[in-house]
Amino acid sequence: MPRKALGALRRVADPYTAALAGTVAFAALLPAEGGAAVAAGDAADIAIGLLFFLYGSRLSAREAVEGLRGWRLHSVVVAATFVLFPLLGLAVGAAATPALLSPQLATGLLFLCVVPSTVQSSIAFTSTARGNVAAAICAGTYSSLLGMLLTPLLAAWLIGSTVRFSADGLATLGLQLVAPFLAGQLLRRWTGGFVTRHKRVLGRLDRVSILLVVYTAFSKGMSEGIWHQVTLPRLTALLLLEAAMLAVALTATSLAARRLGFPAEDRIAIVFCGSKKSLATGLPMAAALFGPRAGLAILPLMLFHQMQLAVCAVIATHWSRRPAPSAAPEQPALA
C-alpha cells in the first residue's frame, strides 16, 4: 500500500484495529462466565448508555440544522445507507446457502446493511481526498441520528424474530440508546464544553466502551459454543461477499453523484459517507437488539469495518492526486 494511503489509514485505524482483534482473542481464551458474565453484561449496558450520552453532548443542534441546506447530498447518502445496502443484503441472503453462510452469519450480514454510516473515518478520508469535509460531517451526523430510528425498524422488518423488538425490546432500546442521547442533548449547555475540552480522553473512553461490548458479545458466543460455525470456507465466503457489497456501494454512490451533477468535492463526500458502516454505532445497537445472540451478529460488521478502511484509504490517496480546480478546466472524474 502506498505511503500516503498508509498515512490516511492510520488516521482512523491506529492501534484500535489491533485492540479489537486482541479483545476477540481474549474472549476466546478467557470468556466471562457466571457472575463475571453478568457483571460484564451490566458494564456493557452502562457503557452503551454512556456512548450515546456523549454522542448527544457532542452534537450541536444549530450546526445540524444549518447543515440541512445540503439536503440533496444528504438524501443520496441516506438512500445509499438505508436503501441500497439493505437491498444488497437481501440479495446476498437470497443467494447464499446455509452451507455457504450459517444462519447466524447471514443475520449478521443483513444487520451490517442496516447500520448507519460512520462519521470519523468518512471525515478523515474526505479530507485526505480534498473533498467537502463540512458535508461529510453533516452527512455522517444525519445518518447516525436516523439510524437510531431506522436501524431497529429495518432490523425488525428484514431480520424478523431474531431481533428483540417486543415491547420489552423497545423499552431496552429507549433506555440504552435514545434516553441517554436525549439527555446529552438537553444537558449539552453544561456538558458540551467539557466534552470538547476533553475530546481526546473521552474518545479513548468511547473505544474502551466498544471493546467491552465486543468482549461481552464474544464471551456469550463462546459460552454457547457457536464459534464452531465460523469455519474457514464460511469466513472466506463472508469476506468475498462483503468485498462485493463494498465494491457495488462505492460504484453506485460514485455514479449516482456524477449523474446528479454534484461537484467533485461533494461527490467525494457522498462516496465515503454512503459506502461505509459505523462500528461505533453498530456494535452497541447489535448488543441492544440481539442480546445474548449478538456474538456472530457483530462479526460481519467488524470484518467490513476493517475492509472499508483499507479500501477507502487507497481510494482517498488516489483522488488526492487529482489536479487542483484552478489547474484544470474541467472537474476530474472520480474513478
Per-residue pLDDT of the chain (335 residues; tens, 9 = 90+): 555 555 555 555 556 667 777 887 887 788 878 788 788 878 877 877 887 788 778 767 666 666 667 889 999 999 999 999 999 999 988 888 887 888 888 888 999 999 999 877 888 889 889 888 888 888 888 888 888 888 888 888 888 655 555 545 556 666 777 788 888 888 888 888 888 787 777 777 777 877 887 788 777 767 666 666 678 888 899 999 999 999 999 999 999 999 999 999 999 999 999 999 988 788 888 877 776 667 777 889 888 988 888 898 889 888 988 776 654 444 444 54
Asked if 160 and 114 touch (Cβ cutoff 8 Å), the reply is no
- In this prediction, residue 116 carries a pLDDT of 93
The DSSP symbol for 82 reads I
Q: Is the CATH number 1.10.760.10 carried by domain 3-317?
A: no
Task: Using alpha carbons, select from 135, 140, 127, 163 the residue that is nearest to residue 55.
Answer: 140
Of 156, 153, 147, 127, the C-alpha closest to 278 is 147
Distance of alpha carbon 221 from alpha carbon 294, whole angstroms: 8
Q: Where are the domains of the chain?
A: 3-317
Q: Kindly write down the DSSP assignment for every residue of 159-210, as one continuous string.
A: TGGGS--SHHHHHHHIIIIIHHHHHHHHTHHHHHHHHHHTHHHHHHHHHHHH
Kindly state the helix (H) or strand (E) to which residue 100 belongs, with its residue range. none
Q: How far apart are CA 70 and CA 64, in angstroms?
A: 11
Burial string for 313-335 (b: 16+ CB within 10 Å, else e) reads bbbbbebbebeeeeeeeeeeebe
So what's the pLDDT on residue 274? 94
Return the pLDDT at 327. Answer: 45
- Centroid of chain to Cα 101: 22
